Each structure stands twice: as structure tokens, then as C-alpha cells.
Amino acid sequence: MKANLKGLVLAGLTSSATLFAGTAHAVEIEYWQYFFGARVDAMDQLIENFEAANPDINVTMTHFPYADYRTKVAAAIPAGEGPDVVQLFYGWLNDYVEAELIQPLPSDTFPVAQIDADFFPMVQAMKDGDNYWALPTAVRSLALFYNTRLFAAAGIDGPPATLDELMETAAALTQRDGAGNLTTVGLTAGMTAQDHHWWREVLVRQFGGEPYVDDYRTVNYNTEAGVAALDFYTNMFLNEDAVTSIGFMDEPQAAFKAGLAGMHIDGSFRIGSLADIRGLEWGVAELPAGMDGVQSNYSSYWVNAITTKAEGAKYDAAVLFMAYLTSDEAMQIWLDVVGELPAKPSVGMTEENANDDVFGPFIRGLAYANTTKFVNESAQRQVLVEMVERVQLLDMDPAESLAIAAEAEQKILDEYYAE
Amino acid sequence: MYRNLTIRQKQIVWAWAFLALPVLFYTVIRFYPTGNAILISFQNWNLLGSRTWAGLENYDKLWNDPVFWKVFQNTFVYLLLGTPLSLVLSFIIAYHLDKLRFMHGFLRMLYFLPFMTSAVAMAWVWRWFYQDVPIGLFNNILANFGIPQIKFLQSTTNALPAVLAPAVWAGLGFQVIIFMAGIRAIPTSYYEAAKIDGVGWFTVLTQITIPLLRPTIVFIVVFSSIGFLRIFDHVFNMTTNNPGGPLNATKPIVLMIYDTAFNGFDMGYAAAQTVVLFTVLLVVSLVQLRLLRSN
């Protein structure tokens, strides 16, 4: 009896040892991103495909709310608890590099020259000398959403192609009640939404300026072009024949979703939430061109990077996983599942994607998009929000308000780069 | 060893044994973070990487920051408008509710209901009340009577009172209950004596009710002052597009701390603001307690 039991225990041990032997060879790496339903679904799919191709690597994904993201990453990596591959907002890259939380991508797998050639140009903000620090799977850009039902009712054929046409179209779409209160705006407005990007990277350039110089370390919009861009923007809601109102229906996207805004400038991430609105019929067009046909756009992205925690076998696995995350296949899956745009022209500019009714205008916009190198996006946005508020609420001369804004933003940049 | 102690010493040992848990709790949960916050206020730290010593740099920056002074002023406007307003309103309601017999419990519940409601949900409902035509309740009513729209939240002058109103309204229920308890605690013999002497209601109010409510008033003043000095959730939720805006017209200190810490990731600067708020709270509370202390 005793011998039997001994044998049983021994057998149990050996069989469990063989069971674990399989996984003992497998490398476990951890991937972190913030929680957004579609992003998690897409990543689940990518991990499944990656593990099928690399049976000796296991990837576990952890996600938590956006609000806690940076705090958690910052606390976990130094403690050796964090991810091996992590998703970061592009604007935070400098901070992560400086704090030695991430390591550069190996130049043999990710040669700089090839990435320069393969990816959309704004990705080059992630480059430092001979190495890339991080790479995106997907990027975002702006486009003009328009309500096709309101367009048809106003007898307008198609979306405006220039800024002049934009204002004409907006005027035709604007509706007021008997007392003159706006009931439908032609175009939404609000620097707190995406308009600060539109003003900064699109309008300033279209009026002949360049918003920043010196690799985004020096503010350069306090010029005639900047004043013209601000005049154009504030004229949309300050005149008697205003085509919009700031704060109309609380938030620009809310007004568009409710069908009470003819046109709305927003990012590609909005596609998903608009698709679910019943009864809303909408189309997308590229942002209107400037006076001399100048086109511009703003693009932002989340990148993937390898943390300093990944060493040895885990590092090798992380490199392989990064290579997969930046592959054409991954980008197509991300586009299909999340609706975010591929980071490479080879995927984005395929006949099918570039001419897609919805994604097409965003993808075509990537070709001429600029990426602002923010040091503190919310503070830099606030500067522009207040610039418009001074004109709107305090009746300040636009040129004067612009000068104050330029000075305030320069101070933010100087403080950051001085450290 | 324990055996050899005197009874008094044993009592001390037991007292400390029972006190150990709360003392430990307070040290870990309260005093350690407070001390740490004071330490961080003298350092630079962006959450990533190491903390570096900054000396008085953060306080110097605070002193020269016009936004801080605007925010400081806003915080006191919240305090100086909110506290007396809620005190007077809640007293008037409690005074009359106390005399009312018809549906007393139901009415008391109605007043208390906002206090139990989530501040976030409430702030969003009020935010929509304040919108322009076509969705705002107040402006739609005005428009029906042909009165021009009022900018509530999109105004540098109206925004702060507009944000304060629901905060006062929400806290009212609690203060009414406390006042009613205070009023009920006054011995009826005083009122009977007053009735026999034939004095008017105003004399009764000013000579009996209010003086005897002093401890209640002290509690409510201190409690609501601390509440208004720390106002955050109403402001943040009513102006999430532009937190504390327009042009910082509604921004209180706590919102500035939150913004500095979790949008700007400037923990040292945020900690310096926190230390200032802590000091203000301490001073205001101590001054009020001293002024309102009964002789």
C-alpha cells in the first residue's frame, strides 16, 4: 500500500514535470496598453497570431484605464514588475527616454534608413541618431465630417474643398430660430476639442506661416500668418452672421452626433463612435485647402516600445513581438478592428484603403500631415483655448491675444527644455 | 514582567495596546503621505525617474504664477459666497421645516436627497441645464419668454456662481438635518418661559434659538468652509472640456493641483500647491474655531 502510494506520488511528480517542461522553454513577455475596447480586441487578435507563429513565446496583455496609465507604468518598471513591451503616447517619449524606462530598438532589426523609407514621415519624431526608440502600429489624422442629410436639405452637392467654400457651405447650413438663436451650426467650433490642432498645424500653415521652428522648441505663430489664421477662426463665431458658436450643445462632437451641426473637424478615432449613431448620415472629406491650395493636417499616434525591464531571452522575444506589431499584417488588422490608420504607406495607400469612403480622406491626409512635438499637450492646448477666450469674452484685439499666447507657450517650452 | 506593574501602569499599557491600531493607521494613511507631500514640494519629480532637490524653487514659481493667484482668489470666493449662503439658507429651511407637521418626513427626505446623490451625476445634469438653446433648460425657458439667452458657463463673470449654485444646493440637505437636530436639542422650557412673558417671535429667534444654536453653527461653518475650500468635483465635471475655465474663472486650488500633477506631471509643483492649501485650511479652521468659541 505504502509502496503504491509512493509510486503514485512519484508518477504524479514526473508527469507534472513533463507538463511544465513545455512551458519552461517558452518565454513569457508582458504587454501593457490603456483600456479602450476596440484596441484590446485588436491586440488580442495580434497576440493570437504572433503566438501561433512563435510557439515558444507567450504574450500576456494587461490594460487599465487611461487616467492611471502613466502613473502605473512609472511605478512598475523601476520595481521590475512592469511590461516588456509598452504602448505610450508619442508626446511622452522624451520623458520615458530620460527616465531610462525604455531602450532603443536594435538597429539590425529596425534599420533607421529602412524605417525612414517605409513609414509615414511623422514617425521620424521617434528617431534619435542611429536608433528608433519606438514605433507605432497606427496613426491618427484629422478630416472633415459632414452631415449628408443637412447637405441635401440645403441643396449642397458635396463637401467644401477650400477654406472659402468651407465658410460658404457653413453659412448655407446654419439655421436660427425667430429670436436669432442658433439652432443648427454650419461648422462646430471649440479649441478644447480638435480645433487647436487644426488652428496650429493647418490654418497657420495655410495662411503662410510655420507654427514652430527649431524642432518645435520655438513658437513661431506670432506673425501676420498667425493673426490671419486667428482672425479666420474667430470670425466663424464673432460676426452677426456667425456660422457657429463655441460651446454649442456643450461639445462639438455632441452637436454633430445630434445632427445639429453641418460639418465637424475631428480625428479618425471618432469614426467608431459615429458609426453607431442611428439616423445620422455622414461622410468624410479631406480638410479644406488653404487660399493657395496649401494642404496640411495634424497627426498623432501611440507607439510601442521595449522597456528596460526586458533582458536576455525576454528582450529577444520583445524584439520579435515589436517586429510583428509594426508589420503590414498588424496594421491592417488594427485598421479593420480599431479604425486607426496604418503607419506605413504600403498598407495605408493600397488601392482599397486610400479610396475607402471613410478611411480614405484620413489616410490621404497623412501624406501632408505634421506632428506637433508637445512637451505638455494639455498646457499647450490651454494656451490656445485662452487665446480665443480673450478675444471672445474680453473683446481683446486678436493680435494682442496671439502675442500673449505665443509668449505663454514659449515659456512652457523653455521650462521643459531647460531641464 | 507585566505582573510587576502597578495598576496605573497596566492601565497605560492597555490604553496603548488599544490605541496602537488607530495610531498605526493614522501614521501610515495620514501622516506619512502628508510628510511625503511636504518633502516632494521641495523637489522636482515628473513621476518617472528620480526626484531631484529643488529647494524653494516650486514655492518661488507659485508666488510668481498669476494663475495661482487667480485660483487662490476663486477659492476664497467659493468660501465667502458659499458658506454664508448655505448657512442662511439651511437655517431658514430648518427653522420652518421644524414647525411644519404636514408631510414633515417626506419634505425632509426631499431636502436630503441631493446630499446622497453622486456629485458627478449632479454636476453633469446642471451642466446641461446651463447650456444654450436648443438643449439648455434655463435658456430654453428664457427663450420661450423672448428673453435673450444668458451665458452661464461660457462667461468670466457668471461661471463661478453658476458652478457654485449646485454645490450649495447639494450640501443643503446635510446642514438642514444638523440644524434641525440643534433646534430640537433646545429645551422647550425656554420657549415656554418666553411665551409666558409674551415676547415676539423675533426676540425668541435672536435671544433664544440662535444663541443656543452656537455649537451647531460653529460645526456647520467649519465643516462647510472646509468643503468649499476643497471644492473640486462640481467644478471639474461642469467644465471638463476646459477644466476651470473660461480664462480660469472657476478654477479652484484643488483643480489646479490635479491639473499640475496629472496633466503636467509636475509633482513637486503640485505638492507645493497642496502644502499651501493645507496651510490655508488649517489657518481658516483655527481662526473660525477661535472666533466662534463660546465664552
For residue A177, which residues of chain B lie inside 8 Å, CB to CB?
133, 143
The whole-number pLDDT of residue A95 equals: 82
Interface A–B counts its CB contacts (< 8 A) at: 82
Say if residues A334 and A342 touch (Cβ distance below 8 Å): yes
DSSP readout, A238-283? Answer: HSTT-S--TTTTSSHHHHHHTT-EEEEEEEGGGHHHHHT-TT--EE
CA distances from A306 to A39, A45, A131, A300, A375 (A): 19, 20, 13, 20, 22
Nearest residue, CB atoms, A385 vs list B135, B149, B242? B242
User: Shortest CA distance to A54 belongs to which of A310, A306, A322, A305?
Assistant: A322
What's the pLDDT score for residue B295?
54
Gap between the Cα atoms of B238 and B136, Å rounded: 13
Average pLDDT over residues A231-247: 92
A70 and B155: CB-CB below 8 Å?
no
Give the domain-ending residue among A335, A354, A370: A370
- A336 and A238 co-located in one domain: no
Question: How far is A236 from A107, CA to CA, in rounded Å?
Answer: 49
Q: Domain map of chain B by residue range?
A: 62-293
User: Among the listed ranges A66-75, A334-343, A386-395, B225-234, which one has the minimum average pLDDT value?
Assistant: A66-75
Q: Are residues A325 and A351 both part of a single domain?
A: yes
Q: In one letter, which amino acid is A121?
A: P
Residue after which a domain boundary falls, among A353, A370, A387: A370
pLDDT at A87: 92
The pLDDT value recorded for residue A5 is 53
- Tell me the residues of A at the B interface, defined by beta carbons under 8 Å apart: 67, 70-71, 74, 95-96, 98-101, 177, 179, 181-183, 190, 192-193, 245-251, 260, 376, 378-379, 382, 385-386, 389-390, 393-394, 419
Q: What is the DSSP string of A377-400?
A: HHHHHHHHHHHHHHHHHH---HHH
- Residues A245 and A392 placed together within one structural domain of the fold: yes
Are B245 and A389 spatial neighbours (Cβ–Cβ below 8 Å)? yes
Residue A273 has pLDDT above 50, yes or no: yes
The confidence band for A1, taking pLDDT boundaries of 50, 70 and 90, is very low
Domain that holds residue A239: 143-298+375-418
Bridge partners for A147 per DSSP: A282
Residues A190 and A45 in one domain: no
Q: How far is B160 from B165, CA to CA, in rounded Å?
A: 9
Residue A378 has its nearest CB partner, among B131, B153, B263, at B263
Average pLDDT estimate for A289-307: 93
Rounded Cα–Cα distance for residues A85 and A156 (Å): 49
User: Residues A55, A41, A349, A126: is their CA dihedral positive or negative?
Assistant: negative
Q: Dump pLDDT digits (tens) for B116-126.
A: 999 999 999 99
Confidence of residue A78 (pLDDT cuts 50, 70, 90): confident
Residue A21, pLDDT score: 45
Cross-chain Cβ contact A394/B246 below 8 Å: no
**Cβ A247–B153 below 8 Å, yes or no?**
yes
For residues B257 and A404, the answer to whether their CB atoms sit within 8 Å is no
| Cβ contact B48–A74 (<8 Å) | yes
Interval B177-200: pLDDT, tens: 999 999 999 999 999 999 999 898
Q: Give the residue with greater pLDDT, A338 vs B124.
A: B124
pLDDT of residue A241: 87
Alpha helices in A85-223 (DSSP H): 93-98, 112-118, 148-153, 163-173, 196-197, 204-206
A407 and A355 housed in the same domain = no
Contact A86, A365 (CB under 8 A): no
The answer to whether A361 and A284 have CB atoms below 8 angstroms apart is: yes
Residues A138-148 pLDDT 10s? 999 999 999 99
- Comparing CA positions, the residue from A319, A300, A323, A301 lying closest to residue A310 is A319
Tell me: cis bond preceding B134? Omega within 30 of 0 counts: yes
Verify that A33 and A117 share a domain, yes or no: yes
For B62-293, the fitting CATH number among 1.10.490.10, 3.30.70.370, 3.40.50.80, 1.10.3720.10 is 1.10.3720.10
Residues of B in contact with A385 (CB under 8 A): 242, 245
- Write the CB contacts of B236 (distance below 8 Å, at least 6 apart in sequence): B123, B243, B255, B258
Instruction: Specify whether A221 is located in the same domain as A313.
Output: no
- Confidence band (pLDDT; 50, 70, 90) for A9? low
- Kindly indicate the confidence band of residue A275, based on its pLDDT and cuts at 50, 70 and 90: confident
- In this complex, the residue of A245, A376, A385 whose CB is nearest that of residue B245 is A385
Residue A12 has pLDDT above 80, yes or no: no
Task: Name the packing angle between helices B214-229 and B66-99 (round to 10°).
Answer: 140
Q: How many domains does chain A have?
A: 2
How much is the average pLDDT of A183-196?
94
Distance of CA A68 to the CA centre of its chain: 18
Q: Which residue among B143, B242, B247 sits closest to A179, beta carbon to beta carbon?
A: B143
Chain B interface, best mutation among A238, A250, A375, A385, by max B CB count within 10 A: A250
Contacts by B215-218 with C-beta closer than 8 Å and gap 24+?
A: B215/B182, B215/B294, B216/B178, B216/B179, B216/B181, B216/B182, B217/B87, B217/B292, B218/B288, B218/B289, B218/B292, B218/B293
User: Is A378 within 8 Å of B48 when comparing Cβ atoms?
Assistant: no
User: Could you tell me which residues come within 8 angstroms of residue A121 by beta carbon, excluding any fewer than 6 positions away?
Assistant: none
Same-domain status, A307 and A275:
no
Does residue A245 sit in the same domain as residue A158? Answer: yes
The whole-number average pLDDT for the span A239-267 is: 93
Q: What is the mean pLDDT of each run of 10 residues along chain B (295 residues)?
A: 88 93 92 94 87 93 95 95 96 92 89 90 94 91 89 94 94 94 92 91 91 91 92 93 91 94 90 94 90 70
Position A239 confidence tier, pLDDT thresholds 50, 70, 90: confident
Residue A344 sits in a domain whose CATH number is: 3.40.190.10
Lowest-confidence segment of A77-81, A230-234, B1-5 by average pLDDT: A77-81
At residue A18, does pLDDT exceed 50? no
Q: Is the pLDDT of residue A25 over 80?
A: no
Residue A203's pLDDT is 97
Q: How many alpha carbons fall within 13 Å on the CB side of residue A416?
A: 25
3-state secondary structure (DSSP) of residue A21:
helix
Report the alpha-carbon distance of residue A84 to residue A97 in Å, rounded. 15
* CB < 8 Å to A386, chain B: 245, 247
